[in-house]
Chains A and B, each alone.
Chain A
Amino acid sequence: MLLPLDADDASALWLTLRLASVVTVLLLAIATPLAWWLAYTRSTSARVVSALVALPLVLPPTVLGFYLLLVLGPHGAVGRVTQALHLGTLPFSFAGLVVGSMIFSLPFAVQPLHNAFVAVGRRQLEVAASLRAGPIDRFLSVAVPLARPGFLTAAILVFAHTMGEFGVVLMLGGNIPGQTRVLSVAMYNHVEAMDYTAAHALAAIMVVGSFVLLLGLRAMGDRRHEERP
């Protein structure tokens, strides 16, 4: 390893990457139908749902983490259910981090997808319906390909947002090495301990990693343009 990472930091990096990947996949699966419904429903409850989805944008992460700790904890509503199902409680576990991160990043997934679906527009779906495509067929063959940039944006935002998350994780996951100690928490520990060299290494990994990610996506976007004569 070129970078001066000790075993603990390496495991924190690995944990963070796993967390970000799992959250991205699960959140896109949930946000897609939600964004679809928000884009095409004529129901008045859409406003309420839309505001709820956006709530994590304005709430301090610690507030969100605090409530999640209460709700998911042994005396919370969800916590009692998970205990009754012999699943234990979610706080201070990897699964708890996943749930917390998903709620925290929900607007970052829903909003780009919502915008992308609105941009696809009803007309394209009506055309597909008139060409014999059923509802699921139209979604997969027309809406998804046309909303591709929205999926890309949502995935990047969620992944990056989860990589750098601190407040919710700290409240909900604590600081257990190998289980809930993510990159940002590990870095905070180093700074607290005045170990700036180790903090630098982690910070540098974040900066370079984010830059490479964005560069790669830019290149993908460009290639897509070149395909078209």
Chain B
Amino acid sequence: MSGVEAQFRLQLDRFVLDAALHAPSAKITALFGPSGSGKTTILRCIAGLERAHGNLTVDGEVWQDDKHFRPTHQRPIGYVFQEPSLFAHLSVRENLLYGWKRVPVAQRLVTVDGVVEWLGLRQLLDRRDPSALSGGEKQRVAIGRALLTSPRLLLMDEPLAALDNASKTAILAALQRLQRELALPVLYVSHALDEVARLADHVVLLEAGRVVAEGPLHATLARLDLPTAELEDTLSVLDATVAEHDDTYHQTRLSCAGGGLWVSRVQAPIGTSVRARVRAHDVALATEPPHQTSVSNVLSGRIVDLRDGDADAVLVRIDLDGAALLARITKRSRDRLKLHEGQAILAMVKSVAVLA
């Protein structure tokens, strides 16, 4: 079996972890859930930093079962902690090479120059004191340090939580590039839906130490029966292709299931695959084509699910030729338009963010 197969039981004070999960190989799997749901504990169990009951197999190799427990330093992982945790007594270069030196030459899959280039660390290499780096710089060094051990599994525990938006965007872009080039499976802990939508291919949803749901990103986020649907910023992810650039209005047309979307100019050649993020509260519904409206993005689909949310809200799931789109409308509008499952509908998208 490829990828990560894990099953853990662990009691820590009053918290009980009882989770089984699967992370496909060569993909980014997000562990998503509120704080205290056990995301970090699962990561620590996979790293061998916490000793739970259960078993763990990575790419067919048993790392833990009833009889065996491979200690952390013998697991080919890279672990990026929430705080960069650079070694204060070592220079930036020595920090980066700490793990690299301890990996046998034959097992090295990356080069120092390659990693330094990917993460833009060149001008930091000769800095003596890592505590003088900025937060984003520190975390880039920590990611580089982990990657230089040529891990077969990268574990990241909210590595961007403490960073400003500019650093976040830069690191996310570098991570995506890295992941594609190395085909490295990544387990990424996050409680930010935006990060998950941008990065993940696969999602494991956790709540109170248990796995609530698991599956491909798009399909999982589109489920109305999961706690993600209740989130204020709940969203859908649509796979799209850059179809046309318009110089007059500085816009780009993306083609996706259900039609096309005009968005602010995207710096990417025609034919590039991108992810479009649409927040549920940015989607309005219409039963017939609207004529005079400022909304230029209208996708056609069919209602497949309706579920009451908090107070006056209703969540509607729309099927766009196989892709799913969520809309959050009011109960008043639902009743006025007599919306029901199976009905053909037009989704007016007020705002789209292009993720990658």
With A131-B145, A131-B146, A132-B103: A126-B88 Cβ-Cβ less than 8 Å: no
B98 engages A131 (CB within 8 Å): yes
Interface segment among B70-78, B117-125, B233-241: the answer is B70-78
Residue of A nearest to B104 (CB): A132
Closest 10 CB pairs of A and B: A131-B99, A130-B79, A132-B102, A129-B72, A145-B89, A228-B129, A129-B73, A127-B85, A134-B73, A132-B73
Q: Which A residues between 156 and 203 are near B, CB-CB below 8 angstroms?
A: none
Chain A, 142-154, contact with B by CB distance < 8 Å: what is the 0/1 string?
Answer: 1001101000000
Where the two chains meet, the residues of B that have a C-beta atom closer than 8 Å to any C-beta of A are 47-49, 71-74, 77-79, 81, 83, 85, 87-89, 98-99, 102-103, 127-129, 132, 145-146, 149
Interface residue A123 (Cβ < 8 Å from any Cβ of B): yes
Asked if B87 and A127 make an inter-chain contact with CB atoms under 8 angstroms apart, the answer reads yes
Contact with B along A92-126 (1 / 0, CB 8 A): 00000000000000000000000000000001101
With a cutoff of 8 Å between Cβ atoms, the chain A residues found around residue B98 in the complex are: 128, 131, 133, 141
- Smallest beta-carbon distance A220→chain B, Å: 15
Contact between A127 and B79 (Cβ–Cβ < 8 Å)? yes
Chain A residues with Cβ under 8 A from B71's Cβ?
129, 134
Identify the interface centre among B49, B83, B145: most chain A CB within 10 Å of its CB. B49
Chain A residue at minimum C-beta to C-beta distance from B84: A127
Q: Which residues of B contact A146 (CB under 8 A)?
A: 87-89
Q: Is A227 on the interface with B (CB-CB < 8 A)? A: yes
Q: What is the bound-complex CA distance between A8 and B81, given in angstroms?
A: 62
A123 touches B89 (CB 8 A): no
Q: Which of A132, A135, A142 contacts B87 (CB 8 A)?
A: A142
Residue of B nearest to A132 (CB): B102
Enumerate chain B residues within 8 angstroms of A137, measured Cβ to Cβ. 73, 102
How far is it, in angstroms, between the C-alpha of A145 and the C-alpha of B89 when the chains are bound? Answer: 7
B128 touches A131 (CB 8 A): no
| CB contact under 8 A between A130 and B72, given known A123-B81, A228-B128, A229-B129 | yes
Interface of B is mostly: loop
With A227-B128, A229-B129 as contacts: A129 and B87 at CB distance below 8 Å:
no
Q: How far is the CA of A124 from the CA of B81 in the complex (A)?
A: 11
Shortest B69–chain A CB gap in Å is 13
29 pairs, CB–CB < 8 Å, chain A vs chain B: A123-B81, A123-B83, A126-B79, A126-B81, A128-B87, A128-B98, A129-B71, A129-B72, A129-B73, A130-B78, A130-B79, A131-B73, A131-B99, A132-B73, A132-B99, A132-B102, A133-B73, A133-B98, A134-B71, A135-B73, A138-B73, A141-B98, A142-B87, A142-B89, A145-B89, A146-B87, A227-B128, A229-B129, A229-B132
B63 CB to nearest chain A CB (Å): 14
Instruction: Write out the residue numbers on chain A whose beta carbons fall within 8 Å of the beta carbon of B146.
Output: 130-131
Q: Which residue of B lies closest to A126 (CB)?
A: B49
* Chain A residue with Cβ nearest B127: A229
Q: Which residue of B lies closest to A127 (CB)?
A: B85
Partner of A130, one of B77, B87, B132: B77
Closest to B151 in A: A130
- Centre residue among A131, A133, A145 by max chain B CB count within 10 A: A131
User: Nearest residue in B to A138 (C-beta to C-beta)?
Assistant: B73
In the complex, which residues of chain A have a beta carbon less than 8 angstroms from the beta carbon of B149?
130-132
- Contact partners of A130 in chain B: CB under 8 A: 47, 49, 72-73, 77-79, 99, 146, 149
CA distance A133 to B90 in the complex (A): 15
With a CB–CB cut-off of 8 A, which chain B residues contact A124? 85, 87
A127 surroundings in chain B (CB, below 8 A): 79, 81, 85, 87
Among A126, A141, A142, A227, contact of B72 (Cβ-Cβ < 8 Å): A126
Q: A130-B146, A132-B99, A133-B99 are in contact. List 16 more A-B contacts (CB 8 A).
A: A123-B81, A123-B83, A124-B87, A126-B72, A127-B85, A129-B48, A129-B72, A130-B72, A130-B79, A131-B102, A131-B145, A132-B74, A132-B103, A138-B73, A146-B87, A227-B128
Contacts of A138 in B (CB 8 A): 73
A128 CA / B89 CA spacing, docked (Å): 13
Q: Distance (Å) between the CB of B49 and the closest chain A CB?
A: 5
The smallest beta-carbon distance between B25 and chain A, in angstroms, is 20
**In the bound complex, what is the Cα–Cα distance between A129 and B132 (angstroms)?**
24
- Please give the distance in Å from B306's CB to the nearest CB on chain A: 46
Chain B residues lying within 8 Å of A133, measured Cβ to Cβ, are: 73, 98-99, 102
